[in-house]
Amino acid sequence: MKNVLVTGGAGFIGSNFVHHMLKNHDYNIINIDSLTYAGNLDNLKDVENDSRYTFLKVDIRDREAITEIFEKYDIDTVVNFAAESHVDRSITDPEIFLTTNVIGTQTLLDVAKKFWKVNPDDKYSTEYKEGVKYLQVSTDEVYGALGKTGMFMETTPLSPNSPYSASKASADMVVRAYHETFGMPVNITRCSNNYGPYQFPEKLIPLMINNCKSGKQLPVYGDGMQIRDWLHVSDHCNAIDTVLHKGVIGEIYNIGGNNEKANIEIVKLIIKTLGKDESLIKYVKDRPGHDRRYAIDNTKITTQLGWAPKYTFEQGIAETIQWYLENEEWMDKITSGDYMKYYDNMYKKA
């Protein structure tokens, strides 16, 4: 039985991944999360009494706490989701992105190295215990922006444009260095934009569903023609599971579902599904440094590891809209209090 440390498991993708792992494997899952504004234990209510699941409120930058966890739970696998994840917030307040996303990653790697090396005191030894692995959950945003054509491959040079993507690219570089220098058994996954249940409503799809439902304006940045490559979160979780079990040590895997959509298309689809009027759309000032287009070439993971997405975008978005409509209480709890302060501040000049 594996002992898997999932970090950031109270967030959007992390909580979906905890559900996925408990459903598909008989592993112990130790979820650590510092519960920032984005961490929500309501996402995990249905598993909190599962004897294979433990939650601990811990910051990934807290070396002492991480060390205790490795000791107590005999951790053999780390899947690092914990991060500051919102581009707009990284424009307002970049520093926390660097400390959490970069220093937090390095802290996890460092503690894992200490526990997993066969001879931890020999700095030249690259021998690790059998079956250990560190998986860094990264993003396609590290590659920067594409023009009208082309796709991101694992070999595409990193060219991040926002403080968020710069911090994720930096973390990837640290993970790479721990592999090259210390021989750490690592993988990096770089996924496109996710959608699905439990996503914090500062991100495009849940924000638009929530606003549309209550007849509020739908703030579309710039001309709305920016393109993202959308993947259902459960396909992302499946891909991470695949890389965890089959990924070749030291390799990077791009994850994407070949679902390129312009933002405005998605907004109009949500309006149509909810039976509202396009007059709700409000074109607002563009995000500074806004990446125009992302597209993932997923050839490596599909041909080498046999992963493929199960959801079509049409099915995934229909289910997702339905989920947010059926989970009003979940949304209402988040969108009271601090969220409104964020929202008013973010969109007041729009």
18, 69, 146, 207: residue in contact with ligand TYD (rule CB under 6 A): 207
3-state DSSP call for residue 139?
Answer: strand
The DSSP element (H or E) to which 72 belongs, if any, is helix 63-73
By C-alpha distance, which of 85, 109, 117 is closest to 173?
109
* Token digits of residue 56: 């601990």
3, 31, 105, 139: residue in contact with ligand NAD (rule CB under 6 A): 139
Bridge partner residues of 53 (DSSP)? 29
State the binding partner of 305 from ligand NAD, ligand TYD, none, CB within 5 to 8 A by kind. none
Active centre residues (catalytic): 140-141, 164
DSSP annotation of 296: B
Based on CB atoms, which residue is closest to ligand TYD, 32 or 209?
209
Query: Is residue 194 close enough to count as binding ligand NAD by CB under 6 A?
Result: yes
The tokens 């250990």 sit on which residue? Answer: 132
Based on CB atoms, which residue is closest to ligand TYD, 230 or 307?
230
State the binding partner of 8 from ligand NAD, ligand TYD, none, CB within 5 to 8 A by kind. ligand NAD
The DSSP element (H or E) to which 107 belongs, if any, is helix 104-116
Residues within window 91-150 making contact with ligand TYD, judged by CB under 6 A = none
User: Minimal distance in Å, beta carbon 180 to ligand TYD?
Assistant: 28
The tokens 């570089």 sit on which residue? Answer: 173
Classify burial at 196, counting beta carbons within 10 Å of its beta carbon; exposed 0-12, middle 13-18, buried 19 or more.
buried
Q: Which residues bind ligand TYD (CB under 6 A)?
A: 87, 193, 203-204, 207, 219-221, 226, 228, 263, 287
Q: Which residues bind ligand NAD (CB under 6 A)?
A: 7-8, 10-14, 33-36, 38-39, 59-61, 81-85, 100, 104, 137, 139, 168, 191, 193-194, 200
